[in-house]
């Protein structure tokens, strides 16, 4: 996601630190974050301390509508999908209602334990804007809340669920450092075609290295940060990444071929399952989709269907199509969008 954090609270560094820490956590996960503050303010100094990507505007000593206008004159369109601010403030609503940013969702973070999810606000002569309210909790939950807001704002709710290793990036065994992840040829082209076809991309991946203790969740976040960065260079923003950190011995319901990751994403984001697809390089990917009626395409990159559980799962599941690579899989989906849903696996 591309998010613009407004650090114009005017409060102390301590008061703004939880908000800034959220921005930093999302930045480290690979989201495109900009922290906007007035030069020399507590918010600007905090951004420097935390090494946040930031953009400062000159000190503005006017108030009210004139202040809003002055800020708007200094903000270039960052291509942001979300604008976040802290506390019950009217300035962001006035600012972004006055400017031609209909694609931008406003998100207000608050400290209360309970509150309305969204509300309508109107400031002065400005049009009312829907404001999404998100409570401070933990970075993981806040990330999911923001992904859900972004997902719904984009309109289309159909998804291609995509495996990671062997499908998006080369299968080189467990990836333990970000530099080992490289995007496969043709993936960018295929993702752009799906994006143009109004599909959003959700990555679903088994990462047993976490359960074995070979990889921490923080290290996994850094690896996924590189994935987001590399795909952003291809013009693609991933809607969400869902990972199973468990080993096979844990017998969880989220490790593919179980469909838990897909079902969790569907619940979080409001996905139209009947219009969605799965692309992967293993029979575990095929099983995760087909077991809940989602057509699944097997690519011949990575495992190419010869994964360790292939013999066991081939008797239960059959891919809707086999494709040479991700580009071919994407083309097949776009040609068969009206294809009837597959029969669930037994």
Q: Could you list the active site residues? A: 163, 165
Structural domains of the chain, with CATH: 2-153 (3.40.50), 159-335 (3.40.50.1000)
Q: What is the pLDDT confidence band of residue 177, given thresholds at 50, 70 and 90?
A: very high
| pLDDT for 344 | 53
How many Cα atoms sit within 13 Å of 177 on the Cβ side?
A: 2
pLDDT tens, residue by residue, 154-170: 876 789 999 999 999 99
Complete edge-to-edge strand list for the sheet that includes strand 82-86: 54-57, 32-38, 2-6, 82-86, 105-110, 129-135, 118-121
79 DSSP assignment? -
Does 36 or 248 have the greater pLDDT score? 248
Stretch among 34-48, 141-155, 201-215, 248-262 having the lowest mean pLDDT: 34-48
- Over range 14-43, report the average pLDDT: 86
Q: What is the pLDDT confidence band of residue 45, given thresholds at 50, 70 and 90?
A: confident
- Over range 17-43, report the average pLDDT: 87
Would the pLDDT of 126 be above 50? no
| pTM to 2 decimal places | 0.85
Any residues with CB less than 8 A from the CB of 99 and at least 6 apart, and which?
72
| pLDDT for 213 | 94
pLDDT tens, residue by residue, 219-273: 999 999 999 999 999 999 999 999 999 999 999 999 999 999 999 999 999 998 9
Stretch among 18-22, 33-37, 41-45, 341-345 having the lowest mean pLDDT: 341-345
50: Cα separation from own chain's centroid: 23
Query: What distances in angstroms separate CA 117 from CA 110, 155, 312, one per listed residue?
Result: 11, 18, 45
Q: What is the pLDDT confidence band of residue 346, given thresholds at 50, 70 and 90?
A: very low
| pLDDT for 123 | 41
Out of 13-22, 49-58, 110-119, 204-213, the most confident range is 204-213
8 — phi, psi (to 5°)? Answer: -100, 25
């Amino acid at each position: 996601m591309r998010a613009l954090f407004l650090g114009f609270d005017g409060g102390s560094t301590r008061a703004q630190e939880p908000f800034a820490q959220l921005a930093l956590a999302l930045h480290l996960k690979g989201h495109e974050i900009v922290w906007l503050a007035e030069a020399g303010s507590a918010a600007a100094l905090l951004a420097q301390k935390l090494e946040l990507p930031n953009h400062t505007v000159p000190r503005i000593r006017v108030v009210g509508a004139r202040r809003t206008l002055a800020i708007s004159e200094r903000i270039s369109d960052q291509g942001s999908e979300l604008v976040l601010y802290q506390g019950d403030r009217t300035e962001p609503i006035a600012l972004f209602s006055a400017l031609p940013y209909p694609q931008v969702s406003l998100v207000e973070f608050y400290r209360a334990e309970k509150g309305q999810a969204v509300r309508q606000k109107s400031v002065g002569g400005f049009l009312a804007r829907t404001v999404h309210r998100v409570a401070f909790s933990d970075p993981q939950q806040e990330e999911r809340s923001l992904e859900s807001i972004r997902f719904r704002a984009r309109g289309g709710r159909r998804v291609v669920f995509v495996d990671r290793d062997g499908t998006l990036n080369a299968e080189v065994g467990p990836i333990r450092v970000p530099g080992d992840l490289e995007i496969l040829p043709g993936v960018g082209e295929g993702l752009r075609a799906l994006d143009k076809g109004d599909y959003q991309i959700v990555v679903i991946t088994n990462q047993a290295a976490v359960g074995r203790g070979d990889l921490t969740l923080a290290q996994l976040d850094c690896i996924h940060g590189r994935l987001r960065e590399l795909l952003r260079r291809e013009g693609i923003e991933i809607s969400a990444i869902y990972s199973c950190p468990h080993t096979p011995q844990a017998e969880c319901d989220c490790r593919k071929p179980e469909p838990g990751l897909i079902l969790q994403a569907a619940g979080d984001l409001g996905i139209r399952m009947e219009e969605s697809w799965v692309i992967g390089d293993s029979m575990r990917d095929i099983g995760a989709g087909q077991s809940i009626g989602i057509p699944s395409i097997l690519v011949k990159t990575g495992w190419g269907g010869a994964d360790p559980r292939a013999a066991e799962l081939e008797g239960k599941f059959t891919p809707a199509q086999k494709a040479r690579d991700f580009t071919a899989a994407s083309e097949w989906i776009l040609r068969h969008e009206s294809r009837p849903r597959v029969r669930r696996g037994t």
